[in-house]
């Protein structure tokens, strides 16, 4: 029974990912989600409190998938910094490929509860990626930087949605550099990570995006 429960929760998350990606956060409803999963509303609420909770689960699952994939293909280098760089590439590439995905990012961040969960997740993700470069940061230090990173994401993706700038891909390396400098990563190391990320994305991009379908 436990395995069936896990499978059903995964099915809900995967269905929600597709809906959020193709029609956006605001336009996606619980009714649509239960219909796509062929379950009852009551069944969905056994696993999630509301749509916000589902969206948080999708984003958390995305991060875990990326982390596992990066760990697999970089197991010889064991470089946590790659997680942040590749995650940024994925978010911006998906936002450009699917306009509704970009809208979902902006819309969900306007929701206070979702926003707070994302900040907490980003703090933990940053600790995983950058702990080796900053020894004495408090949770407040991490949270402040998480807010700055969210601001960078929201501003650039929001600018893209207004039609002012049609090319998100050209901003990726600049965003990555800005994030790494917030955590005192040396310039030479940043350039090394960018080169490695470029190699990984060229070699594994198709496989990487398949795990997020």
Please tell me the pTM assigned to this model. 0.77
pLDDT at 2: 43
Indicate the DSSP class of residue 27: T
pLDDT at 4: 62
**Alpha-carbon dihedral angle through residues 52, 47, 6, 111, given to the nearest 10 degrees:** 10
Q: Kindly tell me if the per-residue pLDDT of 56 is higher than 90.
A: no
Segment 65-108, tens digit of pLDDT = 877 877 777 776 778 898 889 888 888 888 888 888 788 778 77
**CB count in 10 Å sphere of residue 149:** 20
Q: How far is CA 55 from CA 49, 89, 120, 136, in A?
A: 11, 20, 15, 32
Segment 162-186, tens digit of pLDDT = 888 778 888 999 999 999 999 999 9
Q: What is the mean pLDDT of residues 30-44?
A: 94
pLDDT at 111: 75
Q: Kindly tell me if the per-residue pLDDT of 30 is higher than 90.
A: yes
**Which residues touch 105 (CB under 8 Å, ≥6 apart)?**
25, 91, 95, 153, 154, 157
């Amino acid at each position: 029974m436990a395995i069936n429960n896990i499978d059903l929760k995964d099915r809900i998350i995967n269905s929600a990912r597709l809906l959020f990606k193709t029609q956006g956060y605001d336009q996606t409803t619980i009714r649509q989600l239960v219909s796509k999963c062929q379950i009852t509303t009551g069944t969905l609420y056994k696993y999630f409190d509301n749509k916000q909770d589902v969206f948080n689960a999708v984003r958390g699952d995305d991060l875990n998938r990326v982390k596992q994939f990066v760990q697999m293909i970089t197991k010889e280098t064991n470089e946590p910094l790659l997680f942040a760089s590749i995650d940024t590439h994925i978010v911006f590439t998906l936002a450009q490929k699917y306009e509704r995905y970009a809208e979902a990012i902006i819309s969900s961040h306007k929701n206070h509860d979702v926003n707070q969960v994302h900040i907490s997740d980003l703090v933990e993700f940053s600790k995983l990626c950058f702990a080796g470069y900053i020894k004495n940061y408090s949770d407040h230090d991490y949270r402040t930087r998480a807010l700055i990173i969210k601001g960078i994401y929201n501003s650039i993706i929001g600018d893209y949605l207004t039609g002012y700038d049609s090319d998100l891909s050209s901003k990726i390396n600049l965003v990555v550099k800005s994030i790494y400098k917030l955590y005192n990563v040396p310039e030479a190391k940043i350039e090394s990570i960018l080169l490695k990320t470029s190699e990984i994305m060229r070699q594994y991009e198709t496989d990487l995006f398949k795990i997020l379908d």
